Amino acid sequence: MKAHEWIDLAKSKNNITSDYGIAKRLGMTQSAVSKIRTGTGTLSDDYAVLVARLCGVDPYIVLIDQHHERTTNECVREAWERLSRVIDFRHDPLVF
């Protein structure tokens, strides 16, 4: 999933209705959430772990998604895709 989808899921799972509310809950600025929303930003590793906790999923899922989303190198992107397939996601409902 993309960063903005993780933000939306975190908002939904925690009954947060605004980007301001999720920004405050995560300890980030509202402008950082806006950058994520517009596709010009992604979640740092630290924020990816916080979002994973709010979503109730293992952090590795969000971390892999974010590294996959932010890379511009096609070989690296392929490596993240292959890694995501190697890890056992059978018990996790969220897979990119």
- Identify the domain containing residue 61 by its residue range: 3-86
Model pLDDT for residues 33-43, shown as the tens digit of each residue: 999 999 899 99
Q: What is the pLDDT of residues 53-63, one digit of tens each?
A: 999 998 988 99
Grade residue 96 by pLDDT with cuts at 50, 70 and 90: very low
Q: What is the pTM of this model?
A: 0.84
Tell me if 95 is assigned to some domain. Answer: no
Helices (H), the chain: 3-13, 19-26, 30-38, 45-55, 59-70, 74-86
Domain count along the chain: 1
Residue 92 is predicted with a pLDDT of 53
| CATH at 37 | 1.10.260
- Crossing angle of the two packed helices 30-38 and 19-26, in degrees rounded to 10: 120
**Does 92 reside within a domain?**
no
CB 62 within 8 A of CB 55: yes
